[in-house]
C-alpha cells in the first residue's frame, strides 16, 4: 500500500518521502506507516507557525526604522531577513510572496547602507561582494534540499547525507555539493562509492544514483 505524502511538504515529511522504499537507506528508515508521516507533518506545521510569528514580528521592527537609522541596526535587520528567507525556503507550503517581500526589504536596506558608504571605495566593494554572495545563496535555496541541509535542526542526519544526495535530482545535487569544502566533498564521494558497492544487487533501481555519483566526482575534479 502506497502512503500519502503532501504535495508541498516541509523538511521532515520531505525527508521521509526521500527515504520511502529507497534501497539507498537502511530498511529501518525506508519502511514506515502513515502515523510517522503524520508526526513529521505535525512538526513541519509547528515550525511553519513559529516562523510566521517571528517573521511578522520582524516586519514590525522593519516598519519602525527611522529615516536615518544607524547602519549597525540596519545590518542586523538585514541579517535576520536573510535568515527568514533561508527558513521559509524549506517550510511546508509555498512562500513565494514572502520570499519576494524579504528580497525587496533587503534591497531597500542595502540601498540605504550604500548611500551611507558614499565615497568609501572599500566599503562599496565589500557591499558588492556581499550582494553577489547573497544573490547566489538565494538562488541555491530554490532547491529544497539546500534549505533542508542548512536547517539548524536538519532532518538529514550525518549518516543519511550520502544516500540523500544520491537520491536527488542532478540540479539539486549540483547546488548542494557546493555547500561542502573540498575535504568533505572527497569523503562524500568515497562513501557514495562504498554505499553503491554494498547494495549492488539493487543495481537496476540505482541508475540515477550512479549518475549523481559521477556528477559529484566531476564537480570534485573542477
Confidence of residue 67 (pLDDT cuts 50, 70, 90): confident
Do 130 and 185 belong together in one domain?
no
125 and 191 assigned to the same domain:
no
Angle subtended at Cα 102 by Cα 98 and Cα 105, rounded to the nearest 5 degrees: 140
| pLDDT value for 210 | 93
Instruction: Report which of 96, 16, 9, 18 is spatially closest to residue 44, judged by C-alpha positions.
Output: 9
Domain match, 115 and 163 both: no
Which grid coordinates are listed for 28?
529501518
Answer yes or no: is 171 within a domain: yes
pLDDT for the residue 1:
57
Task: For residue 117, give its domain range.
Answer: 59-146
- Of the listed ranges 42-56, 84-98, 192-206, the least confidently predicted one is 192-206
Spatial CA neighbour of 17 closest among 192, 155, 176: 155
Q: What's the pTM value of the predicted model, to 2 decimals? A: 0.89
> Which pLDDT does position 133 carry in this prediction?
92
Number of domains forming the structure of the chain? 2
Amino acid at each position: 500500500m502506497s502512503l500519502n505524502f503532501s504535495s508541498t511538504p516541509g523538511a521532515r515529511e520531505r525527508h521521509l518521502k526521500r527515504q520511502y522504499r529507497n534501497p539507498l537507506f537502511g530498511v529501518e528508515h525506508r519502511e514506515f506507516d502513515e502515523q510517522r508521516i503524520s508526526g513529521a507533518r505535525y512538526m513541519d506545521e509547528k515550525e511553519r507557525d513559529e516562523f510566521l510569528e517571528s517573521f511578522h514580528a520582524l516586519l514590525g521592527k522593519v516598519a519602525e526604522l527611522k529615516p536615518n537609522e544607524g547602519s549597525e541596526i540596519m545590518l542586523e535587520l538585514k541579517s535576520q531577513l536573510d535568515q527568514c528567507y533561508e527558513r521559509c525556503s524549506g517550510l511546508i507550503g509555498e512562500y513565494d510572496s514572502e520570499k519576494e517581500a524579504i528580497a525587496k526589504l533587503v534591497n531597500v536596506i542595502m540601498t540605504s547602507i550604500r548611500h551611507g558608504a558614499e565615497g568609501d571605495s572599500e566599503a562599496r566593494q565589500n557591499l558588492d561582494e556581499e550582494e553577489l554572495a547573497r544573490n547566489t545563496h538565494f538562488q541555491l535555496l530554490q532547491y529544497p534540499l539546500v534549505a533542508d541541509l542548512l536547517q539548524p535542526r536538519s532532518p538529514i542526519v550525518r549518516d543519511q547525507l550520502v544516500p540523500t544526495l544520491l537520491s536527488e535530482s542532478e540540479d539539486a545535487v549540483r547546488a548542494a555539493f557546493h555547500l561542502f569544502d573540498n575535504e568533505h566533498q572527497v569523503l562524500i564521494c568515497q562513501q557514495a562509492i562504498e554505499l553503491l558497492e554494498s547494495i549492488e544487487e539493487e543495481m537496476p533501481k540505482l541508475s540515477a544514483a550512479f549518475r549523481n555519483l559521477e556528477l559529484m566526482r566531476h564537480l570534485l575534479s573542477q
